Structure 1
Amino acid sequence: MPVTQLQSELHCILDLRVAAVALKPLPSVEEVISVDSGNKSAWAHALRIAVRHQNGEEESYFMKVAFGSQGLESLKGEYEATAAIYAITPDFCPKPIAWGTLETAPDTHFYLRKYYEFFEGVPEPESFCEKLAMLHSSHTSPEGKFGFHCTTYNGNIPQDNTWSDSWELFFANGLRHVLNIREARAGPDAELDELLPGLFDKVIPRLLRPLESNGRSIEPTLVHGNLWCGNAAIIDDETEEGIIFDPSSFWAHNEYELGNWRPVRNKFTRRYFEAYQSIIPKAEPEADFDDRNALYALRFNLNAATLFTQDKNYLQMVIDEIRRLTEKYPDGYVDEVGQDKPN
């Protein structure tokens, strides 16, 4: 939905009675004091709701508002992903409270969570990466597989979270899904299309199959799924302690999370890699780590190319990286005793 239409729809939202409906899961709220408009995007709008509880204490809550069936699905995904993260590391994300549809506006949907005051900057690396490693150390996928029990969204991109026993297969399917969405939104690109067979037939098997071959295995880890500096914030100005929010979660290879740290624009420097890997070392084969990281980063650059189709720089980054990797790995996957494996 265009921002102008979104803003016009919000006239009904910026009403204390409507906010009170959304706060029904909080029976201790006695009065809604104010509703203030916050950040907005092309697909959602944020609100801060100040309330007074029955004991006289005042508190604020964050509410995200979206419209239509896609808005409902995306907010459900955000709630479910945040709830999954909160169940493992409750001090690392806001407590999710509720999601649903406003009774007075059936095409208008909301997600409600605790509100935080954020400070400028990126959280301190050591404590931040310690919490992230704790999240990644919980190998409790309910299916023991890669995927998630509902669709989660990266911006306005629905992710393919279909359960899979194989990380290689799950990653490849998810990447194809985003490629299809990008093409539907922006049209085909001849240069990209020419490179894709080498990416799927050679590069992905070469870099991901060794993780699950020759006695190696990886356990599914719950990832935030879109962990850049805009989805992490400092909540204590003195300690620079941080939290994460707005997740696009699924159960994945833990190193997938670090793919979004590779682009310099996302402000997670080498210090964050080092702090994280001091707790969770690079997966074997360790020598493949940098190119695995580049492959995972390629997915995040593709997400950006799909979200912002008018900016051709993101698509060019994807094309350049695929070309580099296909030139480096022209033979694809060869097992460790020298026999080719079928793709």
Structure 2
Amino acid sequence: MTRRLIVIALFEGVDLLDVTGPPEVFSLLQRETDDSAGYDVVLAATATDPVPTSAGVRVVPDTTFYELCGRAIDTLLVPGSVEVDDLRTVTAVVDSVIVEWVRDLAGRSRRVASVCAGAHILAAAGLLDGKRATTHWSTAHQLAAEHPTIAVDSNPIYIRDGDVWTGAGISSCIDLSLALVADDFGEVLAQKVARQLVVYLKRSGGQNQFSAALKHIAPTKRVEDMRLYVAEHAANALTVSSMAQHFHLSDRQLTRIFKADLGTTPAAYIESVRVEIAKQRLASTDETLVRIADASGFGTADTMARAFRRSVGITPGAYRQRFSLRP
């Protein structure tokens, strides 16, 4: 079986984990298969001088972009880089020289993938025109504003649109890399690699970048108290009315507060927290779906299944199959 050449683009200020994470995934495949299969990973830059990364660590390229001219590439992987100003505004960095090389190399690659803000480089190279794509949530608005022909979705962990893959923020490079392995060699080998890494097999591409706790940032002490109350009582018979009564509010007042400060309804927020509780139990225990539904506040397995389809896009059983941490 022919080994697949993966080229990872290097440039000054690149996020270190974006560069080092994928090769770890690809190299572990070698433990699970014979020598004739797998990947050859090459780090390429404009020159072979050490490249300073965002973490201050310098990475030495294996080759230059120019030396790759004429070689058939299986996968071109483009990491990202961002700048943060004094107001803590995050902006994706796009080097025009890198963009030109990426455009050239992509033309000789079977598929192209980006990690984090690397999607901005693919976009500048015209590789995402008319496609659906994701990137780190902090730069998604920039990507959408600068490239209106791209259908930007800031929620998923990764998106595949034809032969172009885009990944979300930083650690999702592991999820994206596992998805590439699964696409090339099947779910069984990808699962074995994931266990070597001690991570989930993969978070599904449609899984949100945020858990319920991180997605909604409480702007006031009162709202934070409400969030904590939900976290503490979600597994019980918590309703909008009982919550409103606890905070000496009407149902309508409580709903207005949630809508104004969290951008969602109390009922939707309660459900999202219950889904998070159920996810943890599905991944870490062998409890029945009925038991998990009761323990997470859903009451019945059918109610839990409907909530999972709405928020996760798969059933609780399918979630357990994909993400179980148990052997």
Relative to the length of structure 1, the TM-score reads 0.28
- Structure showing greater radius of gyration is 2
Return the TM-score normalized by structure 2: 0.29
Choose between structure 1 and 2 for higher RCO, CA contacts under 8 A separated by at least 6 residues.
Answer: 1
